[in-house]
Amino acid sequence: MTSTLWHGFADMGAVSANGPFAIARGEGVHIWDTEGRQYLDSTAGLWFTNVGHGRTEIGDAVGRQLGTLAHYSGFGDIAPAITIELAERLGEIAPVPGSKVFFTSGGSDSIDTAAKLARRYWHEKGQPDKKLIVGRTKAYHGMHVAGTALSGLPPNRDGYGELMADAATIDWDDAKSLLGLIERVGADSVAAFFCEPVIGAGGVYLPPEGYLSEIRQICRDHDVLFVADEVVTGFGRIGGSWFASQRFDLAPDMVTTAKGLTSGYVPMGAVFIAPHIAEPFYSGGVWWRHGYTYGGHAGAAAAAMANLDIIEREGLVGEAARIESDLHTALAPLADHVAVSEVRSGIGAIAAVQLADPATAPAAVAALRAHGVSGRAAGQGALQISPAFVMTTEQVHELAQRIGDALDHLVP
């Protein structure tokens, strides 16, 4: 079946030839296709359905809000009351106390917002030459201009030319590579360093022991803003804390978020901005000419409030910590499978089963579906595992068993 829909990140020739994988509904950790077949959702949509599918409580909250006030501009001194309420609530769980919250429409918006604010901040501090934005190899920071320029995944940048001047990439696992860059170009040229505490779409790579504390200190020592990209890891996915920044004591200057903020029920993102970064813009007379029509959308804010209610009421941040342990135990045996080179797990409700031959990734995803698992490959042939926080221990082990059965079909 061909479709008019142009899918993101897709070989549309293959999609047109085979037809789309059409999802009809979801409940908890399961989804069903239009033919009525059931699948375990191993990726929580795309890292985001933290509270699980089918939460009518969120839909009801959105419906009530849309019936009262769908949205209104957040420019100038105007904002929907629900958006103000959400900002206050987020401020209470922010990694840095006293942080301001700037709403966006999603993760890519959040990255572009942080990149622009980093440069504008240094301009206001009388250091306009601090413009260089630094990312890491393997990193994914969304697909807007700044995020694409920061990407550590060459295929995501290929064919566009130079999208943003003053962007650089360093080794993902060597803090000294940032120090070397600073020494080469001068600290007075470097504005900010963007860091996923756990690399997500690049293949799920956990930070080496001591890496995050070392690179955070390098940023402090050289007056470089530290931006924690928590679009994937925020709102409980790292387990035990609302944010990875808290688990690793990063005290970031900015935190970019999206996905888990609403569990994907409505598009929304937010940037947490530490008080010292916000100060020049709150002292009076300084306008930051940036914003989005749908930033802080009232309906999305209602979804976020209901989502946060569920997370708190059901203790799902703690459940994510339990899933961390479950995944680490259940997936470990797969490391010995002939089709697997490595299993990466042990920090949060996130893991990867690295295929020994990345070229087999499309066949592996098809085999997963045949065994009742909806999954995807991230990075270079890494099967992404990022379930909803409501997945039980038994379901985690069932998922691991089905993945193993699917991998058996890759072996001649």
Q: Bridge-partner residues for 55, per DSSP? A: none
Tokens read off for 409: 């079909």
Which residue in the block uniquely carries the two structure tokens 């020049």?
280
The total number of residues written for the chain in this structure: 412
**267-321 pLDDT, tens per residue?**
999 999 999 999 999 998 899 999 999 999 999 999 999 999 999 999 999 999 9
pLDDT at 3: 79
Q: Give the Cα separation of 179 and 168 in Å (integer).
A: 13
What are the φ and ψ backbone dihedral angles of 406, each rounded to 5 degrees? -65, -40
Query: E-assigned strands of 177-294?
Result: 190-195, 225-229, 254-257, 269-273
- pTM, full prediction: 0.97
Q: Which long-range contacts (CB under 8 A, 24 or more apart) does 65-73 make?
A: 65/298, 65/299, 65/301, 65/302, 66/298, 66/299, 69/298, 70/298, 70/299, 71/294, 71/297, 71/298, 71/299, 72/298, 73/293
- Residue 1 pLDDT level (bands cut at 50, 70, 90): low
**144-191 pLDDT, tens per residue?**
999 999 999 999 999 999 999 999 999 999 999 999 999 999 999 999
Contact (CB, 8 A) for 385 and 407: no
pLDDT at 70: 98
pLDDT at 177: 98
**217-248 pLDDT, tens per residue?**
999 999 999 999 999 999 999 999 999 999 99
Q: Give the Cα separation of 161 and 392 in Å (integer).
A: 46
3-state DSSP call for residue 150? helix
pLDDT at 127: 98
Which residue in the block uniquely carries the two structure tokens 């929907």?
80
Exposure of 89 by Cβ count < 10 A (0-12 exposed, 13-18 middle, 19+ buried)? middle
pLDDT at 284: 84
Average pLDDT rounded to a whole number, residues 72-77: 96
Nearest to 118 by CA among 296, 286, 278: 278
Residue 398 confidence (pLDDT) above 90:
yes
Q: Give the Cα separation of 348 and 319 in Å (integer).
A: 10
Tokens read off for 63: 């419906």
Quote the mean pLDDT of the chain: 97
Q: Give the Cα separation of 180 and 177 in Å (integer).
A: 5
**125-141 pLDDT, tens per residue?**
999 999 999 999 999 99
